[in-house]
Amino acid sequence: MSIDITKMRNIGISAHIDSGKTTLSERILFYCDKIHAIHEVRGKDGVGATMDAMELEKERGITIQSAATQVNWKDYTINLIDTPGHVDFTIEVERSLRVLDGAILVLCAVGGVQSQSITVDRQLKRYHVPRIAFINKCDRTGANPFKVKTQLREKLGLNAVMIQLPIGLEDKLEGVVDLITMKAVYFDGASGETIRLAEIPAHLKADATTHREELIDAISLFSDELAEKYLSGGEIPEEMIHEAIRRGALEEKFVPVMLGSAYKNKGIQTLLDGVTRYLPDPREVQNFALDLDKGEERVELFCDEQHATIALGFKLEDGQYGQLTYVRIYQGELKKGSELTNTRSRKRFRVGRLVRMHSNSMEEITEGAPGDIVALFGIDCASGDTFCGPGLNYAMSSMFVPEPVISLAITPKDKKSADQMGKALGRFTKEDPTFQTFVDPESNQTIVKGMGELHLEVYIERMKREYKCEVETGMPQVAYRETITQRADYNYTHKKQTGGSGQYGRVAGYMEPFADGDYEFVDHIKGGSIPSDFIPSCDKGFKQAIQRGALIGFPIVNIRCLINDGQSHPVDSSDIAFQQAAIGAFREAYNKAKPCILEPIMKVTVEGPTEFQGNVFASLNQRRGVINASSEDGTFSRVEAEVPLSEMFGYSTALRGMTQGKAEFTMEFEKYGRVPQSISETLIKEYEEKRRKEHS
C-alpha cells in the first residue's frame, strides 16, 4: 500500500466562532507545503483563506461548509477537515466528527471556553473523539492561557494539563517553552517557518519546573514505568512522556494543552508534532457496523486492506461536474473500477472516478487506503449511506441530526426562478439534513426549515448566486407544538350509511398527558369488543389527528391515547371506519383536555464588553427571556438566558445597534415551553382568521 496506516491521522479543527480555526488551517497548509502563500480570512488582498472556498464564506469571513484536504507533515499523512463554528451549521460539525479519529479543540486565549466550545465538546464526547486543546490568539490583549486551562477543567470537565508555557504574552509573545524537552522554542523567519531551540529564559525556569512536575504527576496514571521512575527520582526519558500522554489522550482521560498564535505564525509546527504524537491512527480507533443479515448485530471493523471494503458516505456536494460524495474508508481499500453495494438502496455500482479533495480543487487517484478520506464522483446516494464490498450487508450507525427550529415561506419572483428554485432546494436538502423543505397543503406555499436565521439566509443567498433564482421570503415561522394538560374521556361512534355496505366503528377510552415522548397508543381492549385487526386502524386515526393540531394547526405532542372499549359491525366495520372513529373521538376529547400551545425556547448566550451588560439584560427581558447566568471577566462579559424563539427574530441587528457592533450571540434549541395565555389567544385568533380567509 502506498500509505503506512500507522502514520495516517484523520483530524478535524473544531471551535467557537472566531477562535481562529480557518486561520490555523491556513498555517497548517503553509507549513506542510500545500500552499505557497498565507491568505487571511478577512484579508485585504481579497483572496480569502484556502479552506473557505465559497464566495459567501470569503465575504462574510465565516466558514459555512466543512472543507477537507490532505497534507504531509514530516513522514505522516494528515487528512484535515476545517469545520464551521456557527451553531446554525452544526450538522457540518456533526458529520465531520462522525468520521474523524482525533480533533484539535481551538480556544481563544481571551474568550476561553465559550458557548459553542461547550457544544463542540459535547459532540466530541458523543463520538468519543480524542483531542488536543490549542489555545490560540496568545498575542491578543488580555490573553490568559492559564485561565483557559482552568475553564477547560471546570466548564468542560476535561483533565487538561499544559505541555507548553508561553514566552511572553499579548504583543510580547515570542515563542513557547516545551515542558517535555525543557527547551524554549522560537519561530523565526518572515512566516515563522524556521524553528530555533534555545535555553529557557531565566525568569521562566522556576515556572517551567513547577508545570513540568504537574504534567509528570498527571500522566503517571497512564504508565506504571513512568510512575516508578518519578517516585524514585530518576531521569524520565522524553519518549516515555510522549507515550504516556498519547495513552491518556486515546483513553479520553487526558487532554494535552498547547498554545500559540496562528495569526502571528507561532506554535503551529509544534502543534502538528502533537497531532502526530498524541492523536490516534485509524487502527487505534474501534469502529462498529450493524450486520443487517443477522438482525443488526454489532460487528467490529478492521482497518486493514485484507478485509472486504466498508465505507461511509458522510457528506454530499453537488458541483458543476455532478454529485461528489465524501467517503471515509473504514475497512478494506477502495479502488477505481471495484464494485460496491449501497446498503440502504441495495443498488450496486462501480467506482468510476476517485478523487482526493483539497478544499474545492481535486486530484485524481486510483485507490484509497483503509482509514483514508476520499471522494467519489457521480454515484446516487444520500448522506450517511454505507457502501459495502461483495457479500456484505453492513450499515454504519448514522449521525445525530438535530431538528430544525425555524421556518420561512419562500415564493419565486418569476417562472424562470420557479424552475431553478426546485433544483436548488433539491440539491440543498440532499446535502444538508438540517435544511428541510415542504409545500404547506393549506396555503400552497413552499416552506423551508433550518437551524436559525443565518442558516436560511445563507441558503437564500446561495440560490441567488448559484442558481440565479430570485425569491421573496415571508415572515419566519416558529415550529410551535400543541399539547394537553389534563385527562379527558371519549366515547365516539362513526356511522355512515350509503348504498350498499356503510361504515361503522365505535371507540371509547381516554387521552392524558404523557411526559416520556411525543405520542403513545395503549390497547386495553378486553373480550374482543373491537377485533384485533382494527386496533392498528385506531392507532393510525389518532396519529393522523395529532399531525395537525386543532388550536393553531401544529402537531400535538406529549399525549397518550388509551382505548379500552368499542364496538364493531360484522359487515360495515372496516379499516377506514375505525380510522375515522378514532379521528372523531380525538376531536371530541381534545378540547375537554384543556389544550395549550408550546413554543421552542432557545438557549441564548450573548458575549461582549461589560459596559453594555445592562443593555443586554434589558433587551433579553423585553423579549420574555429568563436570565440564567452572567459572568464578568475584566472588560468582557457573558450572559446566558432562555428566550422564546418567536422573540429572537431580528435580534442580531438590535444587538449590533445597542453594543456598537461589539457583542455577538449564539443560540441553540433548548426545550419546548408553554406560551403565555395572552399570546396563545392571539395565535388562535390569527389561525382562525387564516382558516376563514382560505374557506371564503
> pLDDT tens digit string along 573-604?
888 899 999 999 998 899 899 999 999 898 88
Using the predicted structure, report yes or no on whether residue 630 has a pLDDT greater than 50. Answer: yes
Do 49 and 143 sit in the same domain of this protein? yes
Answer with the residue of higher pLDDT: 425 or 667: 425
- Within a domain: 478: no
Judge whether residue 100 has pLDDT over 80: yes
- Is residue 406's pLDDT more than 70? yes
C-beta of residue 12 within 8 angstroms of C-beta of residue 103: yes
Same domain, 539 and 461: no
Per-residue pLDDT, averaged over 431-442, amounts to: 78
Q: Which residues are CB-contacts of 242 (< 8 A; sequence separation ≥ 6)?
A: 180, 277, 278
Q: Which residues does 391 contact at the CB level (< 8 Å), separation at least 6?
A: 308
Domain end position, chosen among 375, 396, 417: 396
Dist CA 20 CA 276 (whole Å): 21
**53: pLDDT strictly greater than 50:** no
Dihedral pair phi/psi, residue 420, rounded to 5°: -65, -35
Q: Are residues 327 and 422 in the same domain?
A: no
Same-domain check for residues 329 and 414: no
Q: Which of these three, 396, 416, 437, is where a domain ends?
A: 396
Considering the chain, what is the average pLDDT of its residues?
83
Residues 388 and 440 occupy one common structural domain: no
The DSSP result for 364-422, as a single string, is EESEE-TT-EEEEES----TTEEEE-TT--EEEPPPP-PPP-EEEEEEESSHHHHHHHH
| pLDDT at residue 1, rounded to an integer | 44
Res 253 pLDDT > 80: yes
CB 323 within 8 A of CB 366: no
Q: Which residue reads 483513553 in cell numbers?
A: 251
Least confidently predicted of 161-165, 203-207, 472-476, 640-644: 472-476
Give the integer Cα–Cα distance in Å for 249 and 219.
Answer: 10
CB-based contacts of 380-383 (< 8 A; 24+ apart in sequence): 380/323, 380/342, 380/345, 380/347, 380/349, 381/313, 381/316, 381/325, 381/342, 381/344, 381/345, 382/313, 382/316, 382/344, 382/430, 383/95, 383/313, 383/314, 383/315, 383/316, 383/430, 383/431, 383/433
DSSP strands (E only) in 4-66: 8-15
pLDDT exceeding 90 applies to what percent of the chain? 17
**609 lies in some domain:** yes
What's the one-letter identity of residue 221?
Answer: L
pLDDT digits (tens, 9 = 90+) for 161-178: 999 999 988 888 888 999
Q: Does some domain include residue 691? A: no
User: Residue 42's pLDDT is what?
Assistant: 43
Say whether both 335 and 387 belong to one domain: yes
CATH of the domain at 501: 3.30.230.10
Asked, for residue 693, whether it belongs to a domain, the answer is: no
Of residues 295 and 643, which shows the higher confidence score? 643
CATH number of the domain to which 243 belongs: 3.40.50.300
Residue 574 lies in a domain: yes
Residue range 292-310: mean pLDDT, rounded? 83
Q: Of the candidates 278, 232, 257, 73, which has an alpha carbon nearest to the alpha carbon of residue 148?
A: 257
**Single pTM value for the model:** 0.68
Higher pLDDT, 410 or 59: 410
Is residue 360 over pLDDT 80?
no
Q: For residue 246, is pLDDT > 60? A: yes
Per-residue confidence (pLDDT) for residue 512, from 0 to 100: 92
Identify whether 181 is part of a domain.
Answer: yes
Strand partners, 362: 357
At residue 185, does pLDDT exceed 70?
yes
Question: 679 CB contacts (<8 Å, ≥6 apart)?
Answer: none
Task: Supply the Cα-derived Rg of the chain in whole angstroms.
Answer: 29
Give the tens place of pLDDT for each residue, 279-290.
998 888 888 888
Angle, vertex CA 320, rays to CA 314 and CA 322, nearest 5: 50
CATH number for the domain spanning 419: value is: 3.30.70.870
Q: Could you tell me which of 19, 78, 98 has the C-alpha nearest to residue 399?
A: 98
Q: Tell me the CATH number at 357.
A: 2.40.30.10
On whether both 196 and 325 belong to a single domain, the answer is no
Neighbours of 497 (CB within 10 A): 10
Considering only residues 45 and 334, tell me which one the structure prediction assigns the higher pLDDT.
Answer: 334
333-336 contact pairs (CB < 8 A, 24+): 333/1, 333/305, 333/309, 333/367, 333/368, 333/369, 333/370, 334/309, 334/367, 334/368, 334/372, 334/374, 335/366, 335/367, 335/368, 336/366, 336/367
Tell whether 612 and 507 lie within a shared domain.
no
The grid cell for 493 is 361512534
Arithmetic mean of pLDDT, 681-687: 88
Local confidence band at 95 (pLDDT 50, 70, 90 cut-offs): low
Which residue, among 257, 259, 143, 261, has the nearest Cα to 191 in the 3D structure? Answer: 261
Quickly tell me which residue has 467519489 as its cell.
376
pLDDT at 660 over 90: no
Domains identified in the chain, total number: 5
CATH number for 622: 3.30.70.240
Q: Domain boundary at 228, 250, 284, which?
A: 284
What's the whole-number mean pLDDT along residues 626-634?
84
Is the residue at 692 inside a domain? no
Taking only the tens place, the pLDDT of each residue in 545-558 is: 888 778 888 889 99
CA angle 641, 645, 650 (to 5 degrees): 95
Assess whether 268 and 174 both reside in one domain.
yes
Q: Half-sphere exposure of 98 toward its Cβ, with a 13 Å CA cutoff?
A: 25
Query: Quick check: 381 and 430 in contact, CB under 8 A?
Result: no
Same domain, 244 and 339: no
Given this model, what pLDDT does residue 255 score?
93
In the predicted model, what is the mean pLDDT of residues 298-322? Answer: 80
Residue-wise pLDDT tens digits, 315-326? 777 666 677 888
Place 43 in a pLDDT band, splitting at 50, 70 and 90.
Answer: very low
Residues 219 and 118 in one domain: yes
Residues of the domain holding 440: 406-471
Q: 678 phi and psi, to 5 degrees? A: -60, -40
Whether residue 273 is found in the same domain as residue 386:
no
d(CA 272, CA 262): 12
Which pLDDT band holds residue 47 (cuts at 50, 70, 90)? Answer: very low
Instruction: Convert the pLDDT of each residue in 260-279 to its tens digit.
Output: 988 888 888 999 999 999 99
pLDDT at 209 over 60: yes
Is there a contact between 128 and 98 (Cβ–Cβ < 8 Å)? no
Mean pLDDT to the nearest integer, 453-482: 82
3-state helix, strand, coil in the chain (%, to 5): 35, 35, 35
Angle, CA of 367, 371 and 377, to the nearest 5°: 45
| Residue 618 falls inside a structural domain | yes
Q: What is the pLDDT of residues 367-391, one digit of tens each?
A: 888 888 888 887 888 777 888 888 8
What confidence score (pLDDT) does residue 641 get? 93
